[in-house]
Amino acid sequence: MRSLSSRLVVASHNPGKVREIASLLAPFGVEAVSAAELGLPEPEETETTFAGNAALKARAAAAASGLPALADDSGLEVFALGGDPGVYSARWAGPAKDFRVAMERVWSELQARGASDLSARFVCALALAAPDGAVEVFEGEARGSIVWPPRGDKGFGYDPIFLPRGGERTFGEMTHEEKLPLTHRARAFEKLLVALA
């Protein structure tokens, strides 16, 4: 499985995530179709690592569609919170997937612990699965720190409270084009391309 097909499934129902992955694939002439477009169910994320969940989602989408599938599992790790929310990043947003709730929870837990260290990182595991079940996983990270109050209405998820290292604007204040090369997803994708080269 050392090549990218001309068409693959992005195993996600998150429009922001699908858009980022489709943008990364576009220069290589790969058409990305989302799991949502194909009506594929979202498998329950039962693994305890980003890599495990990414592999689970990629295998399920590849098996259901008969196409290669690329899945991402990613989240925010805040060091003063012992790496939380981590693999539970989406769950912190609750059933309504309201990330304002999730961001408030991150900040209130930091305040409750009297944390002075606001360092954090976004982590991404990208899993590329073939319809026969073979899978490869590539991981990337973007380091930075938490800011409060949230800044910017671009991006998605925790972007408005994440200030990338060396930057002056949060991911939530950047355009899609400005943010993409700095992301954990882009860094994982670079590793995937090296493996495929």
**pTM of the model as a whole:** 0.86
Identify the sign of the CA torsion 104, 109, 113, 116: negative
> d(Cα 66, Cα 34) in Å, to the nearest integer?
14
Residue 73 is a catalytic residue: yes
- Which residues does the chain have with pLDDT short of 70? 1-4, 197
pLDDT at 89: 96
Average pLDDT, the chain: 92
68 Rama class: left (phi>0) / alpha (psi -120 to 50) / beta? beta
Q: What integer pLDDT is reported at residue 194 of this predicted model?
A: 83
* pLDDT value of residue 197: 62
- Which pLDDT value is given to residue 3? 59
CATH code for the structural domain at 7-196: 3.90.950.10
Task: Pick the catalytic residue from 72, 73, 84, 159.
Answer: 73
pLDDT of residue 1: 47
Q: Specify the pLDDT at position 28.
A: 83
Domain chopping of the chain, boundaries:
7-196
